[in-house]
Amino acid sequence: MSGDCIFCKIANAQIPSKKIYEDEEVIAFHDIHPNAPVHFLIVPKLHIESLISCESQHQALLGKLLLLAPKLAKEQGLAGFRTMINTGHDGGQEVFHIHLHVFGGSAKLPKT
Ligand code: AMP
Ligand code: ZN
């Protein structure tokens, strides 16, 4: 837990979210400013700033985030989806608690 981290606060239920999944290690919730008809975030409860901060001890947790994406996307009715991890200021990261974006629900997502 990092004191003023918004995703730690969501993980600790200190602020509300539109939660779609939770277990002891991970929480997933809809993005507050969706960029697609379906846009949710998969977030480890452990406060890790970004992908740059990850080490080998985080390998299983990172794998878990990725494997949750197709499971939760299917539950949200998506036949396909796009994932994204913004990393660092130069990578467009705004919330410095690592998270995996999942986008879908358009007939076809635009090419990046
Ligand atoms: P990033 O630019 O990858 O750090 O993305 C941060 C994302 O978190 C943005 O898409 C925001 O819309 C989203 N976000 C910020 N605050 C909240 C919140 N309280 N609940 C849900 N999503 C949030
Ligand atoms: Zn945090």
Q: Which residues of 66-105 are buried (b: 16+ CB within 10 A; e: fewer)?
A: eebbeebbeebebeebbeebbbeeeeebeebbbbbbbbbb
- From the CA of 8, the nearest ligand is 2
Instruction: For residue range 78-112, list pLDDT tens digits in order.
Output: 999 999 999 999 999 999 999 999 999 987 777 77
Confidence of residue 23 (pLDDT cuts 50, 70, 90): very high
99 is catalytic: yes
Structure tokens at 74: 């299917």
For the chain, which residues make up each domain, given as ranges?
A: 6-104
Is the Cα dihedral 84, 78, 72, 36 positive or negative?
positive
Catalytic site residue from 39, 97, 99, 101: 99
Enter the pTM of the model.
0.96
Q: How far apart are CA 100 and CA 72, in angstroms?
A: 12
Considering only residues 61 and 3, tell me which one the structure prediction assigns the higher pLDDT: 61
Instruction: Tell me the CA distances in angstroms from 89 to 50, 51, 57, 62, one per residue in order.
Output: 10, 12, 24, 20
* CATH code linked to domain 6-104: 3.30.428.10
- What is the average per-residue pLDDT within 60-71? 98
**Span 10-25, mean pLDDT?**
97
pLDDT given at position 36: 95
Ligand 1 pocket by C-beta < 6 Å: which residues? 6, 17, 29, 31-33, 86, 92-95
Mean pLDDT across the chain: 95
Name the E strands within 51-107: 82-84, 100-104
Question: In the predicted model, is pLDDT for residue 1 greater than 70?
Answer: no
Write the pLDDT tens digit of every residue in 24-53. Answer: 999 999 999 999 999 999 999 999 999 999
